[in-house]
């Protein structure tokens, strides 16, 4: 009985080792992003690097020097091969993924979406209670007042410019309606 198991084991072992086509398919599968396996190493397509062509180069304008390094990196990437993401307002987790600090978002944590900012400050207000409200209300009033004054100054600048060009009086209400529809 023992000899039967040994014979079957040797037969299956030799069968697995003789199947070179499945071994080559498994080896080729290891190269990513169009890389080709040659002499046990992956030869990567332009724009990729790494032992399995798993890292993407983010060269600005796809310009590469003779030695394979980038001339200049795309925004948000650093390194000789521009393959390391630079998280502006957060930390790099792994690969090309950033963990953004609140209220920042985006691929490299460089965007402030209005909804994220409102959500962040609403949470801050609820966290600080009445003190948060006392701090936020003056900020909202200042923002409203500044935007209203900016609109008035813009209307006056356009009004003055039109009067100089046309040598006639221009109505401020018409200018305001045209600018702020």
Provide DSSP, 153-165: HHHHHHHHHHHHH
Residue 27 CB contacts under 8 Å (≥ 6 apart), including other chains: 37
Asked if residue 164 is part of any domain, the answer here is yes
Residue 109 CB contacts under 8 Å (≥ 6 apart), including other chains: 87, 88, 89, 90, 98, 100, 101
Q: What is the mean pLDDT of the chain?
A: 77
Asked if residue 46 is part of any domain, the answer here is yes
Residues 68 and 90: beta-carbon distance below 8 Å: no
Asked if residue 119 is part of any domain, the answer here is no
Asked if residue 40 is part of any domain, the answer here is yes
CATH code, domain carrying 33: 2.10.25
Asked if residue 104 is part of any domain, the answer here is no
User: What is the domain extent for residue 165?
Assistant: 143-179
Query: Cα–Cα–Cα angle for 46, 50, 51, nearest 5°?
Result: 120
Is 122 or 57 the better-scoring residue by pLDDT?
A: 57
pLDDT at 28: 44
Asked if residue 93 is part of any domain, the answer here is no
Asked if residue 41 is part of any domain, the answer here is yes
The residue out of 61, 86, 111 marking a domain boundary is 86
Residues 82 and 58: beta-carbon distance below 8 Å: yes
- Give the number of domains in the chain: 2
Q: Any idea what DSSP says for residue 169?
A: -
Banded pLDDT at 120 (limits 50, 70, 90): confident
pLDDT digits (tens, 9 = 90+) for 36-56: 988 888 988 888 888 898 888
Asked if residue 134 is part of any domain, the answer here is no
Is 128 or 12 the better-scoring residue by pLDDT?
A: 128
pLDDT at 173: 84
H-helix or E-strand spanning residue 78: strand 77-78
Banded pLDDT at 9 (limits 50, 70, 90): very low
């Amino acid at each position: 009985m023992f000899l039967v198991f040994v014979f079957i084991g040797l037969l299956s072992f030799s069968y697995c080792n003789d199947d070179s086509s499945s071994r080559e398919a498994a080896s080729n599968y290891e190269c990513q992003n169009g890389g080709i396996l040659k002499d046990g190493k992956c030869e990567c397509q332009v724009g990729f690097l790494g032992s399995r062509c798993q890292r993407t180069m983010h060269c600005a304008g796809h310009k590469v020097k003779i030695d394979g390094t980038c001339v200049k990196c795309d925004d948000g990437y650093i390194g000789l091969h521009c393959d390391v993401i630079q998280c502006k307002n957060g930390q790099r987790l792994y690969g090309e993924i950033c963990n953004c600090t609140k209220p920042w978002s985006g691929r490299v944590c460089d965007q402030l979406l209005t909804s994220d900012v409102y959500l962040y400050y609403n949470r801050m207000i609820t966290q600080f209670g009445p003190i948060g409200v006392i701090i936020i209300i003056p900020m909202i009033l200042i923002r409203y007042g500044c935007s209203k004054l900016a609109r008035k100054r813009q209307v006056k600048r356009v009004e003055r410019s039109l009067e100089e060009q046309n040598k006639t009086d221009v109505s401020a209400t018409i200018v305001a309606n045209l600018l702020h529809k």
